[in-house]
C-alpha cells in the first residue's frame, strides 16, 4: 500500500511508501524545520557524480628501461594501499546522523545501482527511534528504519530508490498531455517514461487493467498502486532476478515488466545480488523480506 502522508496510514502493514514532498520534508526529513517553510523537492538534478571513479594512482610503465630502483618503492606503496581505500561517501549519505555502518551499506548499495538516477537522491535519513514505517521515500529523499537487519536495510533502500527513480528521476513535463495517472494531486504527464511501465497493469493510479491477476505482480504489495508496483518490481529485479526471469517466462505482464526494467534502467547490468527466493506459485507479499546474497561491491 501507499500513503501520501506520515499521518495517513492504512491499517494493513505499512512497509514502504512514497510521500508528497511537503509532508516528507516537514514530517520527517527535516525534524527541526518549521512547518511553515515547506520545501519543494521536485528536484533540479545536480551534476552527475561519478561513483565508479577510482583513486588515481601512479601509472606503471611496462617495459621501461629506466632503472627500477628509482621508482619502484613509490609504485609498490601505491598498489598496496589501493584495495583498502574506501569509496568516497556519496553526498546523500555523508551525514553524521547516519551511523558509519549504515553509511557504508547505503554507499555500497547506491553505487552498485545504475547511475542514471543517482543524483536525484539528495538525502538519506536513517531513524534510530523505532519509526512506525521501515522505509519512506519522496522524490529526492529516503528515510529508513535503522533498527532492521542489514539485509533488510539494504533491500528497503533499493525499494525506496525505486521510488526515487520513478518519481524523482524518470519524469515528464507539462509540455506533454496528462497521462491519466496522478501521484496524489500531481499530474503525471504522458511523456513520463514510467507511464509505459504503469500501463502494463494499470489504467489509472487506482484501477488495474481488466483481467489482471495477482500473479501479474512481483509481490502482493506491488499490486497496491502503480508506484508500489514500480518500486517492488525495481527491487525484485535487483535482488531476485532469477526468480523474476523464471516467472516472466510464463506470465506476459511480468515479462513486460522485466523487459521494461531491463530496457529503461538496468540495460542488462551485472547482477549485484543472487536471490534465494524460489517461485513455487505463491506470490510473495513483500520483496524486501525475501532472502538474497549480496554480491557487489563495484
Residue number of the CB atom closest to Zn ion:
16
The DSSP-derived string for 93-156 is T--TTS-HHHHHHHHHHHHHS-GGGGGG--EEEEE-S--SSSEEE-SSEEEEETTS-HHHHHHH
Q: Which residue has the cell 527535516?
A: 30
Residue 298 CB, nearest approach to Zn ion (Å): 26
Residue 165 CB, nearest approach to Zn ion (Å): 12
Across-strand partners of 18? 137
Residue 16 CB, nearest approach to Zn ion (Å): 3
**Binding region for Zn ion (CB under 5 A) out of 14-22, 237-245, 258-266, 281-289:** 14-22
Rounded CA gap, 295 and 297, in Å?
Answer: 7
Residue 10 CB, nearest approach to Zn ion (Å): 12
Q: With respect to Zn ion, which residue has the nearer C-beta, 17 or 144?
A: 17
Residue 231 interacting with Zn ion (CB under 5 A): yes
Size of the site for Zn ion (CB under 5 A): 3
Q: With respect to Zn ion, which residue has the nearer C-beta, 94 or 132?
A: 132
Of 112, 132, 135, 113, give the one whose Cα is nearest residue 124.
Answer: 135
Residue 284 CB, nearest approach to Zn ion (Å): 15
Q: What are phi and psi of 280, to 5 degrees?
A: -120, 10
Q: With respect to Zn ion, which residue has the nearer C-beta, 170 or 280?
A: 170
Q: Which residue has the cell 554480491?
A: 295
Would you call 9 helix, strand, or coil by DSSP?
coil
**Binding region for Zn ion (CB under 5 A) out of 12-20, 64-72, 83-91, 183-191:** 12-20
Q: With respect to Zn ion, which residue has the nearer C-beta, 16 or 165?
A: 16
Rounded CA gap, 160 and 141, in Å?
Answer: 9
Of 256, 255, 254, 163, give the one whose Cα is nearest residue 215.
Answer: 254
**Binding region for Zn ion (CB under 5 A) out of 9-17, 83-91, 121-129, 138-146:** 9-17
Largest CA distance in the chain: 76
**Binding region for Zn ion (CB under 5 A) out of 165-173, 231-239, 252-260, 265-273:** 231-239
Q: Under rule CB under 5 A, which residues in 17-76 are in contact with Zn ion?
A: 17
Residue 197 CB, nearest approach to Zn ion (Å): 14
Rounded CA gap, 5 and 198, in Å?
Answer: 22
Three cell numbers, residue 120: 536525484
Residue 231 CB, nearest approach to Zn ion (Å): 4
**Binding region for Zn ion (CB under 5 A) out of 15-23, 34-42, 117-125, 140-148:** 15-23
Burial class (CB within 10 angstroms; exposed 0-12, middle 13-18, buried 19+) of 258: buried
Site residues (CB under 5 A) for Zn ion? 16-17, 231
Amino acid at each position: 500500500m501507499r500513503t501520501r502522508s506520515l499521518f495517513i496510514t492504512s491499517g494493513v502493514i505499512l512497509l514502504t511508501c512514497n510521500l508528497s514532498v511537503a509532508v516528507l520534508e516537514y514530517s520527517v526529513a527535516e525534524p527541526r524545520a518549521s512547518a511553515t517553510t515547506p520545501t519543494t523537492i521536485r528536484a533540479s538534478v545536480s551534476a552527475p557524480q561519478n561513483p565508479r571513479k577510482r583513486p588515481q594512482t601512479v601509472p606503471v610503465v611496462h617495459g621501461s628501461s629506466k632503472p627500477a630502483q628509482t621508482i619502484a618503492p613509490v609504485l609498490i606503496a601505491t598498489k598496496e594501499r589501493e584495495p583498502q581505500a574506501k569509496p568516497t561517501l556519496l553526498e546523500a549519505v555523508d551525514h553524521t546522523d547516519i551511523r558509519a555502518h549504515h553509511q557504508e551499506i547505503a554507499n555500497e548499495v547506491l553505487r552498485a545501482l545504475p547511475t542514471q538516477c543517482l543524483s536525484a537522491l539528495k538525502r538519506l535519513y536513517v531513524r534510530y527511534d523505532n519509526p512506525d514505517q521501515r522505509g519512506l521515500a519522496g522524490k529526492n529523499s529516503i528515510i529508513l528504519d535503522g533498527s532492521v537487519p542489514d539485509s533488510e536495510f539494504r533491500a528497503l533502500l533499493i525499494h525506496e530508490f525505486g521510488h526515487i527513480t520513478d518519481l524523482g528521476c524518470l519524469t515528464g513535463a507539462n509540455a506533454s498531455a496528462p497521462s491519466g495517472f496522478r501521484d496524489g494531486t500531481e499530474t503525471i504527464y504522458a511523456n513520463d517514461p514510467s507511464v509505459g511501465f504503469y500501463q502494463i497493469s494499470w489504467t489509472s493510479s487506482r484501477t488495474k487493467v481488466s483481467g489482471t491477476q495477482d500473479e501479474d505482480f512481483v509481490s502482493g504489495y506491488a499490486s497496491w498502486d502503480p508506484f508500489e508496483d514500480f518500486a517492488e518490481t525495481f527491487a525484485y529485479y535487483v535482488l531476485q532476478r532469477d526468480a523474476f526471469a523464471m516467472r516472466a517466462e510464463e506470465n506476459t505482464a511480468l515479462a513486460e515488466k522485466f523487459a521494461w526494467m531491463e530496457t529503461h534502467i538496468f540495460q542488462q547490468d551485472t547482477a549485484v545480488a543472487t536471490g534465494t527466493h524460489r517461485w513455487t506459485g505463491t506470490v510473495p507479499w513483500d520483496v524486501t523480506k525475501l532472502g538474497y546474497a549480496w554480491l557487489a561491491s563495484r
